[in-house]
Copies of this chain bind each other. A is one copy, B any other.
Amino acid sequence: MRAYIEILRIPNLLLMGIGVIFGGFIALKTYMFSQDLGLAALSAALLTAAANVMNDIRDLEIDKINRPERPIPSGRISVRVAWTLYAILLSVGILLSGVVSIECFIIAILAAILSYIYNRWFKRTGIWGNMIVSSLVSLPFIYGATAVGRGGNLFIWSLSTAAFFATLGREILKGIADIKGDRAKGIRTVAVRYGRKVAGLLVLVFFVIAVMDSWLPIVYEPIGIKYVSFIIITDIGFLISGLRIFLKPDPLRALREKKVVLLWMLTAMLAYVSEVNIH
């Protein structure tokens, strides 16, 4: 039993579910929980669990050396059983999405395909893997908004696209921090393939695009002062972090900035959540 809990990575699933629920709240601009939103959150968690199981199957050979205590390399779960578990989690996840709506069903299928492609071909590679990871980070918000019938809401698209580009920048930033180890292991990140200077430039470019996305709501939605206050802090943070890494793209600085950027991601979430009204 413990092996199954370990392989699913519960905190990870909870985060995904919370992302979906907040996507719904933010799109509705009010804390209104519904059955559809709950089902969407559950199905997102199940799809993430399926992706986590496949991740462990694909990592088996590496984990035998680095993480021999993990459920599959330790022999507590066989690869055959793990694939069965993957299939069940995936099917139930997609099934539940279909109960919510056809739009949610399409997103669930897309997410399943993306995480399969990632685990199968793009793990530990460069920018294409980073782009898939970033898509999967931005999808829960859209999924939650779609579940409550507000998938076309521009405020949510501002949040998701900003999340996409901020994550993409941060993934490349992580590659600068880990350049030595990645190069030794033959992992072809942007920093390894094209050098730290190019990676630093891309981090700044993607952070700038994320900052631009965060300003869409101010012109196009009736947005309050709370959003503006939090987003100014967030954007100044992203621009300073991006500039610092652009001007001196060395691993030590990247190690610091990749943590600092998590703080800006948190203030960004506060900005969007602050616009949700309590009734």
Write the residues of chain A forming the contact surface with B, with a CB cutoff of 8 angstroms. Answer: 103, 106-107, 127, 131, 135, 146, 151-154, 157, 161, 194, 197-198, 201-202, 205, 208, 212, 216, 219-221
B219 in contact with A103 (CB, 8 Å): yes
A151 in contact with B220 (CB, 8 Å): yes
Q: Which of B103, B194, B202, B221 contacts A152 (CB 8 A)?
A: B221
- Shortest Cβ gap from A175 to chain B (Å): 14
Chain A residues touching B, majority SS: helix
10 residue pairs from A and B, CB less than 8 Å apart: A103-B219, A127-B205, A146-B219, A146-B220, A151-B219, A151-B220, A152-B220, A194-B197, A194-B201, A202-B202
Copies per complex of this chain? 2
In the bound assembly, the distance between CA atoms of A127 and B201 in angstroms comes to: 9
Which residues of chain B are within 8 angstroms of A107 by Cβ–Cβ distance? Answer: 219
Which residues of chain B are within 8 angstroms of A131 by Cβ–Cβ distance? Answer: 205, 208
Closest to A103 in B: B219
In the bound assembly, the distance between CA atoms of A157 and B208 in angstroms comes to: 18
Which residues of chain B are within 8 angstroms of A154 by Cβ–Cβ distance? Answer: 152-154, 157
Q: Which of B106, B127, B194, B216 contacts A219 (CB 8 A)?
A: B106
